Amino acid sequence: MRIVVLAGGIGGARFLLGARRLPAEVTAIVNTGDDVTLHGLHISPDLDSVMYTLGGAADPERGWGRAGETWAVGSELAAYGAEAPWFSLGDKDIATHLVRTRMLDAGYPLSAVTAALCARWEPGITILPMTDDRVETHAVVTDDEGRRAIHFQEWWVRYRGEIPTDRFVFTGAAEAAPGAGVVEAIAAADAIVIAPSNPVVSIAPILAVPGVRDAIVASRAPVVGVSPIIDGAPVRGMADKCLATLDTEVSAAAVAGLYGPSAEGGLLDGWLVDDSDARAAVEGLPILARPLWMTTPEETEAIIRDGLGLVGVRP
C-alpha cells in the first residue's frame, strides 16, 4: 500500500511520525515555499523539520532545528552586521545548509539533494520537495514603510504575523513544475492524506505548483484531510492570521471548504475534525469527528487510520 501525505513543517513532521508507523510506503510531498536564501545558504525549513524529526534529530522543545544545537556562527554573522539577525541559524543546521547549497550550486535538483541528506537521517519514508524550482511565499503587507511584499520568513519570524497583511503570494509557483517523483507518487498512491498543516502557507503552496492539484484530482486514490483547526483555533502556528487574509473563518469546516469536496471539483473525499468540532458540516463531504491531538506517534497513527477508514482504505 502506498500513501502520499501533503505536509508543511513542524505539524507535518509530527503527523508523519504517525504515518510512518503504518504498514505502507509513505511519501511526503513537502512545502518549499518557506525556503529562503540567507548568507548565501539555501535554507529549506519544512524539508528540514520533516527530515530532522523523522531522523530523531529534531529539538523536541523548540519544535524546529536540531537537538543540542549551538549558535556560534549566527552570533558571529550578527557581529559582522550580516542580514536578517532575526532569523536564528543553528551551527548544526548550517552544516545541512552548506551541503544543500553546494549540491544545488553543482547543479543537483533539490529532490536529489534531499535524498542525499536523507541518506544520513534515514527518515523511513520518502521525502519529496513539492518542486525543484524556486518558489517563495511572500506576504503583501502594509505598515509605516508602505505596501510591500516581504518573504514569508520575515513575516513569520521577524513580525510574528503582527503586521497588517493583505495576502500571500507564491512567487515563482506559476512557472514551477512538480518536483521529481511528485506526480508519479500521486498517480501510484492508494490514498492521499492532507496533513493538519497550515492550509494557507503550507498546503496551498504545494497545490499552487501547476500539475499537482490536477494529479491529485486525476488520481484514483481517495483523499482525506485532517483539520488543523480545533475548536476555532490553530493547533499551533498562525493559521488564524493566515486564514484572515482569505476572509476565511477560523474553523474546521471553513478549512475543508478551502480544499473543497471532490464531488464539487475539490480535493476531499473525507475530512477529520476534532470532537470539539463534531457539528462541523460541509455539503457533500463525509466528516468524522474524533480527538485530533497528536500526543504520540501511536495516537497520530490512530488518527490517520480513522481518516483512511473514512475514505474506505484499510492499511
Q: Quote the strand ranges of the chain, DSSP E.
A: 2-7, 25-30, 36-38, 41-43, 126-129, 136-143, 146-151, 165-171, 191-194, 223-226, 229-230, 233-234, 270-273, 287-289
Cell matching residue 1: 500500500
How far separated are the first and last CA of the chain, in Å rounded?
A: 7
Cell matching residue 120: 544520513
Number of residues that bind a copy of itself (CB under 8 A): 25
Please say whether the beta carbons of 251 and 277 come within 8 A: yes
CB of 79 to a copy of itself, least distance (A): 7
Q: Is 99 in the site for a copy of itself (CB under 8 A)?
A: yes
Find cell 501511536 and name the residue. Answer: 298
**Considering only residues 56, 62, 67, 82, which one is a binding residue for a copy of itself as defined by CB under 8 A?**
82
| 4 or 117: CB nearest a copy of itself | 117
**Considering only residues 7, 19, 77, 280, which one is a binding residue for a copy of itself as defined by CB under 8 A?**
77
| 37 or 276: CB nearest a copy of itself | 37
| 122 or 275: CB nearest a copy of itself | 122
| 79 or 265: CB nearest a copy of itself | 79
Phi-psi region of 227 (alpha: psi -120 to 50; beta: other; left: phi over 0): beta
Residue type, 265: G
| 35 or 93: CB nearest a copy of itself | 93
**Considering only residues 25, 39, 112, 158, which one is a binding residue for a copy of itself as defined by CB under 8 A?**
39
| 32 or 101: CB nearest a copy of itself | 101
Q: Is 95 in the site for a copy of itself (CB under 8 A)?
A: yes
Q: Is 62 in the site for a copy of itself (CB under 8 A)?
A: no
CA geometry: angle 5, 197, 17, nearest 5 deg:
55
Piece of the chain touching a copy of itself by CB under 8 A; list 39-47, 225-233, 246-254, 283-291: 39-47
Q: Is 101 in the site for a copy of itself (CB under 8 A)?
A: yes
Measured distance CA(237)–CA(160) in Å, rounded: 10
Which residues 135-174 are close enough to bind a copy of itself by CB under 8 A? none
Q: Is 110 in the site for a copy of itself (CB under 8 A)?
A: no
Backbone angles phi, psi at 149, to 5 degrees: -100, 130
Measured distance CA(283)–CA(257) in Å, rounded: 9
Phi-psi region of 262 (alpha: psi -120 to 50; beta: other; left: phi over 0): alpha
Which residues 41-60 are close enough to bind a copy of itself by CB under 8 A? 41
Piece of the chain touching a copy of itself by CB under 8 A; list 65-73, 200-208, 246-254, 271-279: 65-73
Q: Is 94 in the site for a copy of itself (CB under 8 A)?
A: yes
Residues in contact with a copy of itself by the rule CB under 8 A = 39-41, 70, 72-74, 76-77, 79-82, 91-92, 94-96, 98-99, 101-102, 105, 117, 120
